[in-house]
Structure 1
Amino acid sequence: MRRFYSTLKPRKKLSILSKKNVQLNTPARTRFAPSPTGFLHMGSLRTALYNYLLAKHTGGQFLLRLEDTDQKRLIKGAENNIYESLKWCGLNWDEGPIVGGPHEPYRQSDRSLIYQKYTDKLIKSNNAYRCFCSKTRLDGLRESAQKLTPPTTVSYDRNCAHLSKEESSERAKSGELFTVRFKSPGKYPKFNDLLHGNLDLQPQVNKDDVRYDDFVLMKSDNLPTYHFANVIDDHLMKISHVIRGEEWLPSTPKHIALYSALGWEPPQFIHIPLLTSTKDKKLSKRSGDIDVMNFAKKGILPEALINFVSLFGWSPKNKDSNSEVLDLNQLVKAFDINDLTKGNAKVEDKKLYFFNKTYLLKRMENNDKEIFNQGYELLSANFPDLTKDRSDELIKTVGHNLTTIQEITEYGYLISLDYSNDHTEKFLGSHNLNESRFILSKFQHLENIEEIDSIINSLKISKKDVFKTLRFALAASKPGLNIPSLVKFLGIETTNYRLEKGLEIIESKLNNTSI
């Protein structure tokens, strides 16, 4: 990222903009404009979500646009992944690919004639010019700019800006390769960001060797750069508010200068903070910014992920923990840009799993077919004779213990029990087996489940030891489900069988025979 001088003060950690009181009196038109150069990740999902929430909260429209002009970096399957991820999260777009709209096409690679029209307009008005400089010359200019004292982050010397329009046109007609550069102003205008306030961002320059921030608008392959295409498209698609990552702040003066050169009013800008790890490092694929659909594969529910991501730079007015549990419809109602936060957002999975557990339990309480079908599919893969009714009963029994539906496989011992595991090894190696044998002998041949409580109360043995022995026999010492729930699910017949089996194993161990 280029270094810019700025009026931004040192960032305060999660400082709420309560003083700004931004009032939105008209419906907002927002857009999410990803590049299909990779799969949709959590950081991009947050950008899409905030744009969606602002549009829907104000009764406006949310657009999807594909910025695919960097053809060399496109990834196979990335475009479909973007569609799949947004739909899975419930972020349906009002205009864009697939659904269409009045401003088609919504894929930038299909809009070349539009960009050419405005390129010609800027050249004609002397706000842009063709640049015929070779890559070697441009590389040399960048290197020399870095060697200046102080070094400058802008490097072009406007060599081609001095060509006459006639010469420039003739060279282009002869087939000579060129780019089109914007003739940047001597000083960028100040601008207002709805989150950061009034900003004055200027590129670092060297007064003794003047270079210019004349960025490229059209590449030599006749495709636009991000800076150019996004300004043209946002204006033509009537975008009123642009919410994007803070890393785009240094580019905003360029965009506003372009709007000015074209005689257009820029949209309102909101630059949201970076996502960082708990160690304050920017999130990457290696440090937690995971592909959205990978969350789905891990059993994370879309409403949990959306709720989790919504809090990366925004905080609801109420601060108690229950007020943060908000589904998408509730987020639309609660979202207010005055509650956006400035400080970097630390991503910690603990809250994601809290949300997932909460929403999973809600779904099970509402007898959500999707959840019960997923659970059955997971269980029946290991237990093909398991009926759907029995699977549903199991899920209801252990549901309050689950964080994701994938964890249901950990409760396979309720269907079929294998005593060969680390838990039983630990139990058999650390407990008084004579006492355990005595305990289990008292629970043989039960006629009904209610007998268990009376037997426990009659024993003059620590209840802790009694429960550990019962858990060994009934669940192969696996934790998670309390004894009453365990017995209720197993039923009297299976309970008796396992109590008898547990006693046999302990007696074999005491007799030094193999289990």
Structure 2
Amino acid sequence: MSQKVRVRFAPSPTGPLHIGGVRTALFNYLFAKKYDGDFILRIEDTDRSRYIEGAEDYIINALQWCGLPFDEGPRVQGPYGPYRQSERKMLYRKYADELIKKGKAYYAFDTAEKLDYHRKNHEAQGKTFIYNWHNRLKLDNSLSLMPETAQERIANGEEYVVRFLTPPDEKLQLIDMIRGSITIDTNTLDDKVLFKSDGMPTYHLANIVDDHLMKISHVIRGEEWLPSLALHQQLYDAFEWQAPSFAHLPLIMKPTGKGKLSKRDGEKLGFPVFPLQWKDSIGYRETGYFPEAVVNFLALLGWNPGTEQEIFNLQELIKAFDISRVNKSGARFDPDKTKWYNQQYLQKKTDAQLASLFQPILEAHDLPDTKRNPTYVEKIVALLKDRATFVSDFWELSEYFFRPPESYNEKAFQKQWKDNTSEIMGQLVSFLEGLSDFSEDILEQKVKGWIGEMKLSFGKVLPPLRLAIVGDMKGPHLFTIMSLIGQSDSIERIQRAAVLLGKLSNK
């Protein structure tokens, strides 16, 4: 591309960053980095009535956790700052005045009560009230007033807004990088407010001015902004500025049913919709997702690489990303698929990395240092990681490696523990006490030899032995478990089960 690629992610600090917002940031980041461009964070906080304390920090922390650093923005100053719109408010008045001078905008004095009256009056007639070409001269604005009267009302301190003067009877030809050519009849458009009575610009004016001043080359944003494209293009034309290229991303849809993904869907079905925890809403980080997995599954929500590849690291995504392969239709969110991605990334980590991540959980269970020995923990995660989706799964999968079972699976007990099982376990204990080598292969060979010598079946010994060692019929190879927990611990568990389960079987 001949023009320097500069994109911006411009969220409003009105609450936590939704996972759909993270995807928008991601697609902007991938596009910028593919073309050696700049990724800018701009905080669009002109609507102070909806501003939420802490939301800006949340947005920045979420991007950092996802590994999507911005080149310019709050805390990372660049040549086009400041990067909060509230700190740029002195800029916008000038541009609103410029549009008025060019005859592209006008002052409107209509009160909220008067506009509400018009809306209700139209509704009573089965119509929709639109402030535009067909009624603007009947309303209270500088187009319907003498110029001197309008200026006098402004000088007297009367509240007003600045509205864009949408030209009638034009066909706008708009181009979207994802959706192609779009035709809009200007007669269907309303005269949007550009500057509010509180002295702050609306999103529309601030957005266009900032994108121009920050030399934004491509605007990649959510589909919900598609209806604003016509106004934004007209504003660029009115200022006689070169408009950026536009791309509107498809919505992320609910797992089932119609509509876009919401916080309520996550609460109902038990999955996060925010990258980080926000108040009582748990995030992907706190659930145990790896940021690389979140980035990977978000990238494939609405974008198709054109191959069968599903696992991409960030550099691979940058290389493969092509905005022309972004889908027009909404992408359905699949909570199970997100877990699958996390599982894939868990498998890619080394045993040492997983053991280190598992350590805080072990510490929380107040285990002795011997049970948290890194080498020991690494052996355990190596055995169990194929069954885990999150690091937090390791405790439930491996608790019996760290302490004896406190209870025994009732169904397994009923099936495996016969009247003479405690006696057989007692005999096995005597045999195990005499072993000098408790390594896995030797232990398996010796125990199976003993079973043969005692003329017992494997079914009479090995299932109840697993129940005694694990407390259930789960886990990896039985002799692997016994070898790892050691001779003394294995014998103590068998003895304890023989007593406790023996009493229960005799009732």
TM-score range, shorter chain: 0.7 to 0.9
Q: 1:473 is aligned with what amino acid?
A: A
- Which residues in structure 2 correspond to 1:237-316 (within 5 Å)? 237-279=214-256, 280-288=258-266, 290-293=273-276, 294-316=283-305
CA positional deviation for 1:454: 5.0
Is 1:179 matched up with 2:166? no
Q: Normalization by structure 2: what TM-score?
A: 0.87
Distance 2:373 2:147 in 1: 77
Over 3 Å counting, the alpha-carbon distance change for 1:432 and 1:507 in structure 2 is closer
1:470 to 450, 458, 465: 465
1:335 to 301, 321, 324: 321
CA deviation digits over 1:180-229, x for unaligned, max 9?
A: 11111213512011111101134785xxxxxx611100111111111111
Quick check: 2:443–2:483 contact (8 Å CA) kept in 1? no
Further displaced range: 183-192 or 89-98:
183-192
Aligned residues: 474
Q: Which runs of 5+ in 1 are unaligned?
A: 1-23, 206-211
Match of 1:209 in 2: none
Q: Secondary structure at the match of 1:377?
A: helix
Q: Secondary structure at the match of 2:194?
A: strand
Distance 2:463 2:304 in 1: 45
CA positional deviation for 1:275: 0.7
Quick check: 2:16–2:58 contact (8 Å CA) kept in 1? yes
- Which residues in structure 2 correspond to 1:344-383 (within 5 Å)? 344-365=330-351, 367-368=352-353, 371-383=354-366
CA deviation digits over 1:48-101, x for unaligned, max 9?
A: 000000000111110000001111111121110001000000100001110010
Match of 1:452 in 2: 444
Distance 1:465 1:245 in 2: 63
Over 3 Å counting, the alpha-carbon distance change for 1:56 and 1:494 in structure 2 is same
1:433 to 383, 403, 418: 418
Q: 2:328 is aligned with what amino acid?
A: K
Match of 1:443 in 2: 428
Further displaced range: 382-391 or 129-138:
382-391
Match of 1:418 in 2: 405
CA positional deviation for 1:481: 3.3
CA positional deviation for 1:307: 0.4
Q: 2:466 is aligned with what amino acid?
A: R
Over 3 Å counting, the alpha-carbon distance change for 1:350 and 1:68 in structure 2 is same
Quick check: 1:277–1:346 contact (8 Å CA) kept in 2? yes
Q: Secondary structure at the match of 2:392?
A: helix
Over 3 Å counting, the alpha-carbon distance change for 1:466 and 1:232 in structure 2 is farther
CA positional deviation for 1:164: 3.5
CA deviation digits over 1:303-328, x for unaligned, max 9?
A: 00000111111011212xxx210111
Q: What fraction of aligned residue pairs are identical, expressed as a percent?
A: 36
Q: 1:285 is aligned with what amino acid?
A: K
CA positional deviation for 1:399: 2.7
Q: Normalization by structure 1: what TM-score?
A: 0.86
Over 3 Å counting, the alpha-carbon distance change for 1:463 and 1:195 in structure 2 is farther
Over 3 Å counting, the alpha-carbon distance change for 1:105 and 1:384 in structure 2 is same
CA positional deviation for 1:36: 0.5
Quick check: 2:367–2:402 contact (8 Å CA) kept in 1? no
Is 1:152 matched up with 2:132? no
Q: 1:326 is aligned with what amino acid?
A: F
Distance 1:465 1:270 in 2: 67
Match of 1:43 in 2: 20
Q: Secondary structure at the match of 2:219?
A: strand
Distance 1:230 1:408 in 2: 48
Is 1:121 matched up with 2:98? yes
CA deviation digits over 1:285-343, x for unaligned, max 9?
A: 11136111111011100000000111111011212xxx210111111111111221122
Distance 1:152 1:135 in 2: 17
CA deviation digits over 1:91-127, x for unaligned, max 9?
A: 0000111001010110000111111110110111111
Over 3 Å counting, the alpha-carbon distance change for 1:39 and 1:465 in structure 2 is farther
Match of 2:280 in 1: none
CA positional deviation for 1:482: 3.5
Is 1:109 matched up with 2:104? no
Quick check: 1:375–1:405 contact (8 Å CA) kept in 2? yes
Match of 1:208 in 2: none
| Alignment root-mean-square deviation, CA | 2.3
Q: Secondary structure at the match of 1:200?
A: strand
Is 1:195 matched up with 2:178? yes
Q: Secondary structure at the match of 1:281?
A: coil
1:482 to 455, 470, 477: 477
Match of 1:135 in 2: 112
Q: Secondary structure at the match of 2:32?
A: helix
- Which residues in structure 2 correspond to 1:386-405 (within 5 Å)? 386=369, 387-389=372-374, 390-405=376-391
